């Protein structure tokens, strides 16, 4: 049985090792999220709770701002995207690999970003390798 590796003050190198199928817990989360897609600077993970799918996108590059809501300069963050009425041409079906890859490429190209209203800094991360 594999156990979670616990990392305080995550690094880009650590986040780059996360791959599809890994289970990830951020900060004090009790229930993990399963990684569904990975790109150069982002990965998206999901969790199913009572028929509802929740997602979170992790940014693998430190935020360049100073402070905004919960976001902190120099830290890595995770949260939902900043699209108010959902992403056009994306139905948030994280089981469709092609769709997930297209979604992550939109982050890479700067078409969408993490929501500064909902993103949280990553103080520690727990990873269970698939």
Using the predicted structure, report yes or no on whether residue 83 has a pLDDT greater than 80.
yes
97-123 residue pLDDT tens: 999 999 999 999 999 999 989 899 999
pLDDT, tens only, 38-50: 999 999 999 998 8
Global confidence as pTM: 0.91
Give the residue among 76, 87, 81, 74 at the shortest CA–CA distance from 117.
Answer: 81
Alpha-carbon span 24 to 29, nearest angstrom: 9
What value does the mean pLDDT of the chain take?
A: 91
Task: Tell which wins on pLDDT, 81 or 68.
Answer: 81
């Amino acid at each position: 049985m594999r156990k979670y590796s616990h990392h305080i003050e995550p690094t880009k190198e650590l986040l780059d090792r996360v791959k599809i199928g890994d289970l990830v817990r951020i900060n004090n989360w009790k229930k993990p999220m399963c990684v569904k897609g990975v790109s150069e600077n982002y990965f998206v993970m999901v969790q199913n709770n009572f028929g509802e799918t929740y997602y979170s996108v992790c940014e693998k590059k430190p935020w360049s701002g100073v402070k905004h809501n919960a976001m902190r300069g120099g830290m890595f963050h995770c949260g939902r995207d900043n699209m108010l009425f959902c992403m056009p041409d994306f139905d948030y079906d994280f089981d469709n690999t092609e769709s997930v890859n297209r979604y992550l490429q939109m982050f890479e190209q700067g078409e969408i970003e993490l929501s500064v209203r909902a993103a949280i800094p990553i103080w520690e991360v727990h990873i269970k390798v698939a």
